[in-house]
Chain A
């Protein structure tokens, strides 16, 4: 079935370590996104990419990095510079042109990151 796969579902990180969250989609979507969600809060955009080898910062990019070497993949690295990384991370994808439902956004199941 087509969809977005995030891994791992749960991840624990020691302070000072970098960790990478995986996001893969087989929907043939051009655009991909990473959001962060803190408990009881809305979604905040970290990074987004409209095409391979190109990405832009969202609202809270500091302490994070991404790459987009393949259309299907958009991994997120949470670096040691991110001072409060414990959160729920959501990856999403969409086509980026045209009227709905073509540009509907599809989300993965999310990854829980906890700093220990």
Chain B
């Protein structure tokens, strides 16, 4: 299984950009990079995904390193509601044992008013 490593926590000020890093040095060539976030006492929710190119959606942007061994989730203007734990599990598009999704400990984002 591809392993991910992230800092334990980060802090940001409200309305400032936040860059959340993820290292996935053992990712396979076909795995997608997914990001999920988990608010307190809730299940994780999908944020964004990508394969090789940078991606944007209404929630965030995803910057993927050229060698795909790391990625960065970018929140352009952090709000108090963005305070959560962020995970970056690789995701295989194939079936079998690859279909399971392995989450690390994630990175806890705190947002200061």
Contact = CB atoms under 8 A, between A and B. Distances in A.
B97 A56 contact: yes
Nearest to A112: B41
B101 A97 contact: no
Contacts, number: 72
Nearest to B6: A42
B46 A101 contact: yes
Contacts of B51: 99
Contact of A105 (B41, B94, B97, B101): B101
Give the size category of B's interface with A: 20 to 34
Contacts of B68: none
Nearest to B99: A96
Interface in B56-113: 87, 91, 93-97, 99-106
Interface of A: 4, 31, 33, 35, 41-45, 48, 50, 56, 58-59, 88, 90, 92, 94, 96-101, 103-110
Given A4-B43, A59-B102, 14 more contacts: A31-B99, A35-B103, A42-B106, A44-B103, A45-B101, A45-B102, A48-B99, A97-B95, A103-B99, A105-B34, A105-B36, A108-B43, A109-B42, A109-B43
